[in-house]
Amino acid sequence: MTDFDAIVIGSGVSGGWAAKELTEKGLKVLMLDRGRMVEHKKDYITEGHGPWKLAYRGTLPPAEVARDHFLGKWGGAASTDRTHFYNNDRLNPFDYENSKPFRWVRPNQVGGKSLIWSRVTLRWSQLNFDSNKQDGHGSPWPIGYDDIAPWYSYVEKYAGIAGQKEGLFQLPDGEFQPPHPMNVAEEWVKERLEKAMPGRKLIHTRCANMTEDKPEQGRSKCQKRDQCARGCSFGAYFSTQAVTLPAARKTGNLTLLSDKVVTNLEYDGKTRRVTGVRVVDANTQEAHTYTGRIVFLCASAMASTQILLNSRLPNSGLSVFNSSGVLGRYIMDHVMRTNVWGTVPDGALDPLVQFGRRPTGVYIPRFRNLQGQDEGVDFVRGYAFQGAAGRAIATPGGFGVALKQGMRRYAPWRIGFNAFAECLPYKDNSLTLNPARLDRFGVPLLVFNVTFKDNETRMMNDAQRQGETMLRAAGLVSVGSGQEEHVPGDAIHEMGGACMGDDPTSSVVNRWSQAHDAPNLFVTDGSQMASTNCVNPSLTFMALTARACDHAVKLVQAGAI
């Protein structure tokens, strides 16, 4: 007899969908999260506040950043309007001393990164599912676009995605609400770029910020405040708190426990089943084990991998889920920090001002290596650009009347883009545990051995050159570019560690996100990914989770698990 029909570990985009799907299918579900409780609306404590209402006018003092949020600062934790949503790196570290540089940006609340994500929601194409097999990197994907397409549609319709159909095979269309409009500068660049360089497209960024209400869910369309990372009481963007958690609670089948740190999964080697989920209370340090017929591990790619690695045989450092030998391997993140920019020439646009603060911008989809390997291109796979155009208030000199009149003017329109490139799945990019260093809950600290390699460097160099070429072709002036240090984890798109595949000797989970070594365990966050593509991955996590839940419940009903 188990405590629950299902246990869901984690409450971010994947865990929220797991809770919704399993409870709506009639299962009694326990959801566990290591972070504190955050209730929709009530606990968005900085929502709507101007800088004068924020501590330090919204900028966290450098000493506090260095002490508590030295990794999270790249994900926005250095702003006091959202610091409370981020992990304290001092209290919950990984093994910095023995790791290669890695920026593991983590949340610290129920809802996980669904409260603070960038909300860019893009589908994968068949091109991306074929890539591992075609160029020989990583474990071949056991599924294709047709397997996941219905689940993309299912998730998009419920979540509310703004976008526009473009008919691009490398970036499939979805179920869209109307897009957030481009501003006049973006429209100007789009027209000229697509005319000057056929095959290059500038499109609306597809995002999980609604442009139409969903009254059946109690959600209103985006108010264009650009404060999404503080939480949104309108429910205008997809988050666990606004969308999946209310649906799960409505069933009466959900038990949610916050401040519960999962240390490991207990396992019966004879039956090959997960028999329990061991947790430590984050406040009292008391340990407890919960049991469930099935377990959905959705703690985030790196945290889920840590839990699996720490689920070890008695008196052994070997994980019970690593018969393949690839658990903790193929760790990936998108490569970024290559930027290009340019200015619209004086007089090209009417001197009007755009009103409102859109939650997103524009997107240039991948154009490299779409039909095999492009001639003269010295890397495999590809990259895309995310960006936006805007105008700053002019900063004139002088005093008195001249200064006031000057401040009524605006600087020229500028547009900028950041490249996001695919990182290949390298087997030696890995996570391990350091048994000599334990955290405050008794869990061995993670050690990151992850680097970007030559293919990623060549890709970024090409993105810099091509970015400048495109902006000049579109007629922009003062075009420039730059690269900063490329550090894994910086894109906050961590993937891999428990990769998907048909072959149990070279993968951790099967085509249904089901562990080869324990049929009642499903791993449905980023850890299951066998490659990264160059697009934001969260929509794919959601679709794979909903798909896995459907399969798991069918197995339960058939008595197969």
pLDDT at 403: 77
In this prediction, residues 494-501 reach a mean pLDDT of: 98
Q: For residue range 517-561, list pLDDT tens digits in order.
A: 999 999 999 999 999 999 999 999 999 999 999 999 999 999 999
Q: Within 10 Å of residue 407's Cβ, how many Cβ atoms? A: 12
Q: For residue range 296-355, list pLDDT tens digits in order.
A: 999 999 999 999 999 998 888 899 999 999 999 999 999 999 999 999 998 888 766 666
What order do you get walking across the sheet with 287-290 strand by strand?
Answer: 260-268, 273-281, 287-290
Q: In terms of DSSP bridges, do strands 273-281 and 414-421 run parallel, antiparallel, or are they unpaired?
A: unpaired
pLDDT at 262: 98
Q: For residue range 431-484, list pLDDT tens digits in order.
A: 999 999 999 999 999 999 999 999 999 999 999 999 999 999 999 999 999 999
CA distance 321 to 319: 5
Residue 451 CB partners (closer than 8 Å, separation 6+): 100, 429, 488
What order do you get walking across the sheet with 414-421 strand by strand?
Answer: 203-204, 362-364, 383-390, 414-421, 338-343, 477-483
pLDDT at 229: 94
Q: For residue range 238-291, list pLDDT tens digits in order.
A: 999 999 999 999 999 999 999 999 999 999 999 999 999 999 999 999 999 999
CA distance 335 to 535: 11
Residue 27 CB partners (closer than 8 Å, separation 6+): 4, 5, 6, 253, 553, 556
Partners of 119 in beta bridges: none
In this prediction, residues 87-97 reach a mean pLDDT of: 97
Q: CA of 561: how far to CAs of 278, 300, 326, 552, in Å?
A: 21, 24, 25, 8
Q: Within 10 Å of residue 558's Cβ, how many Cβ atoms? A: 8
The DSSP element (H or E) to which 21 belongs, if any, is helix 13-24
Say how many residues make up the chain: 561
| Angle subtended at Cα 144 by Cα 141 and Cα 145, rounded to the nearest 5 degrees | 140
Q: In terms of DSSP bridges, do strands 414-421 and 338-343 run parallel, antiparallel, or are they unpaired?
A: antiparallel
Cα separation of the two ends of the chain: 14
Closest among 312, 329, 330 to 321, alpha carbons compared? 312
In this prediction, residues 187-203 reach a mean pLDDT of: 97
Strand residue runs (E) in 94-252: 161-162, 176-177, 203-204
CA distance 456 to 334: 9
Q: For residue range 44-79, list pLDDT tens digits in order.
A: 999 999 999 999 999 999 999 999 999 999 999 999
CA distance 13 to 192: 37
Residue percentage of the chain with pLDDT more than 70: 99
Cβ(517)–Cβ(101) below 8 Å: no
What residue has token string 């680097």? 451
Q: In terms of DSSP bridges, do strands 4-9 and 292-297 run parallel, antiparallel, or are they unpaired?
A: parallel
For 528, the 3-state DSSP assignment is helix
CA distance 425 to 195: 36
pLDDT at 351: 64
Q: pTM for the complete prediction? A: 0.96
Q: Which amino acid is at 211?
A: T
> Is pLDDT above 90 for 407?
no
